[in-house]
Amino acid sequence: MLTLLTSMYLVVRAVSSQAEPIRVVVTGAAGQIAYSLLYSIAKGDVFGKDQPIILILLDIPPMLPVLDGVVMELQDCALPLLREVIPTDKVEVGFKDIDAAILVGSMPRKEGMERKDLLKANVAIFKTQGSALDKYAKKTVKVLVVGNPANTNCLIASKSAPSIPKENFSCLTRLDHNRACSQVAMRCGVSSDSVKNVIIWGNHSSTQYPDVHHAKVNVHGSEMAAYDAVKDDAWLRGNFISTVQQRGAAVIKARKLSSAMSAAKAICDHMRDIWFGTKEGEFISMGVYAGGNSYGIPEDLIYSFPVQIKNKTWKMVDGLAINDFSRAKMDATAAELVEERDTALDFLSQ
């Protein structure tokens, strides 16, 4: 009997290990964020330890020689789940039948560049990519936009892919979320996984609002409100918020390069939660379509909210009490997003 059960187990294991590969595209694949990201995806940290993967690496033509080097390195990692790596500069190849799209590539802001010029360049990029998703990707594709300005780029991509549900598009504010968790954890002298339910509201920019009014901290086995654990309201309403808001700039100042390792980790966290769901009683932050929200945020935006995820579907956490301090900050970041959106939509209609 035991031998039969063992045989059945081995058959089940064999079948599961031969699951159909999923197709995952990463844009800006020759860049530094992708360099930190691709190994984690290819070894199963994101989509599961028994999920084979076909990785499509999309970048602009001048970067193709660099992509060849990235492909060689991925091959040399000898990762059993990585079935194929396809480098390309063509959207029709990059987005064909994909299950997940991680849009890292965008036009970076150059010295002397006006914000509206940056928006104009990125509207063109994300209109093209959204249209390609619409035409070539599976309608069930999950799209994560990382390239900045991430919220508005995500909105443009979604509007350019009308046959794909708006709910399938999200932008990355998990890096800000992780930064906020880490700041609170360090302040309380606990590990980062002892902090849960922080919220990033709004734009992935310096107007974002890191909010710990609903966060919990586990201190010596006892769960308490973040404000009670930190015991420093002035810090939580002042330096904590500005530290998280300005963290990206601080990294650039120190490294002379933008965040890559931490950005890649946040991308992995975000996509893993979409694939496998959030823990019971916990929520995370994601930039999602604001339609139908209960917080008075203008609807036609991609805005970061607290969400819970089950069966690859996110649901906004409703009914959280919002005080006047929070309200003002949530509205300020929404106003910036409305301005970005209106400028971007002007370019989109040209």
59 carries a ligand binding annotation: yes
Judge whether 230 and 236 are in contact, CB under 8 Å.
yes
Tell me whether residue 40 is in a domain: yes
308 and 193 in a single domain? The answer is yes
What number of other Cβ atoms are within 10 A of residue 287's Cβ? 32
Q: According to the model, what pLDDT value does residue 4 have? A: 47
Q: According to the model, what pLDDT value does residue 112 have? A: 73
237 carries a ligand binding annotation: no
191 and 147 in a single domain? The answer is no
Give the pairing type, strands 284-289 and 222-225: unpaired
Mean per-residue pLDDT, 282-291 = 98
Task: Tell me the percentage of the chain whose pLDDT exceeds 90.
Answer: 89
Say yes or no to pLDDT of 184 above 70.
yes
Confidence of residue 2 (pLDDT cuts 50, 70, 90): very low
146 and 228 in a single domain? The answer is no
Mean per-residue pLDDT, 97-119 = 87
Average pLDDT, the chain: 94
Q: According to the model, what pLDDT value does residue 108 have? A: 83
311 carries a ligand binding annotation: no
Tell me whether residue 103 is in a domain: yes
Confidence of residue 242 (pLDDT cuts 50, 70, 90): very high
Q: Which residue among 171, 199, 220 closes a domain?
A: 171
223 and 148 in a single domain? The answer is no
Mean per-residue pLDDT, 55-75 = 98
- Model confidence pLDDT, tens digit, residues 251-278: 989 999 899 999 999 999 999 999 999 9
Report the distance separating Cα 142 and Cα 100, nearest Å. 5
- Model confidence pLDDT, tens digit, residues 193-214: 999 999 999 999 999 999 999 9
Tell me whether residue 54 is in a domain: yes
Give the CA angle between residues 279, 259, 74 to the nearest 5°: 80
SS3 322: coil
Report the range of poorest mean pLDDT among 70-74, 112-116, 291-295.
Answer: 112-116
Report the distance separating Cα 245 and Cα 233, nearest Å. 18
Q: According to the model, what pLDDT value does residue 71 have? A: 98
Mean per-residue pLDDT, 20-41 = 98
Q: Which of the following is catalytic: 204, 214, 220, 270?
A: 204
218 carries a ligand binding annotation: no
Give the pairing type, strands 22-27 and 100-103: parallel
Domain harbouring 305, CATH code:
3.90.110.10
309 and 326 in a single domain? The answer is yes
115 carries a ligand binding annotation: yes
Q: Map tokens 């249209």 to a residue.
A: 131
57 and 114 in a single domain? The answer is yes
Tell me whether residue 350 is in a domain: no
As to burial, measured by CB atoms within 10 angstroms (0-12 exposed, 13-18 middle, 19+ buried), residue 150 is: buried
Q: Which residue among 155, 171, 187 closes a domain?
A: 171
Question: Is 270 marked active-site?
Answer: no
Residue 125 in tokens: 């990029």
Tell me whether residue 193 is in a domain: yes
DSSP tally for the chain: helices H, then strands E:
13, 14
DSSP result, 238-288? THHHHHHHTHHHHHHHHHSS---HHHHHHHHHHHHHHHH-PPTT--EEEEE
Report the range of poorest mean pLDDT among 14-23, 131-140, 256-265.
Answer: 14-23
Q: Which residue among 125, 145, 171 closes a domain?
A: 171
Report the distance separating Cα 218 and Cα 222, nearest Å. 5
Q: How many domains does the structure of the chain reveal? A: 2
Q: According to the model, what pLDDT value does residue 3 have? A: 53
How far is the CA of 45 from the CAs of 48, 61, 174, 307, in angstroms? 6, 29, 16, 21
Tell me whether residue 6 is in a domain: no
186 and 95 in a single domain? The answer is no
252 and 317 in a single domain? The answer is yes
Mean per-residue pLDDT, 177-190 = 98
The half-sphere exposure of 40 on its side-chain side, counting CA atoms within 13 A, is: 20
94 carries a ligand binding annotation: no
Q: CA-CA-CA-CA torsion for 228, 333, 280, 42, nearest 10 degrees?
A: -120
Q: Map tokens 């800000």 to a residue.
A: 176
- Evaluated on CA atoms 127, 131, 136, 137, the torsion sign reads positive
Q: According to the model, what pLDDT value does residue 169 have? A: 98
235 and 272 in a single domain? The answer is yes
Domain harbouring 105, CATH code:
3.40.50.720
Report the distance separating Cα 141 and Cα 165, nearest Å. 9
Q: CA-CA-CA-CA torsion for 159, 164, 168, 172, nearest 10 degrees?
A: -40
141 and 165 in a single domain? The answer is yes
Q: Which domain holds residue 312?
A: 173-341
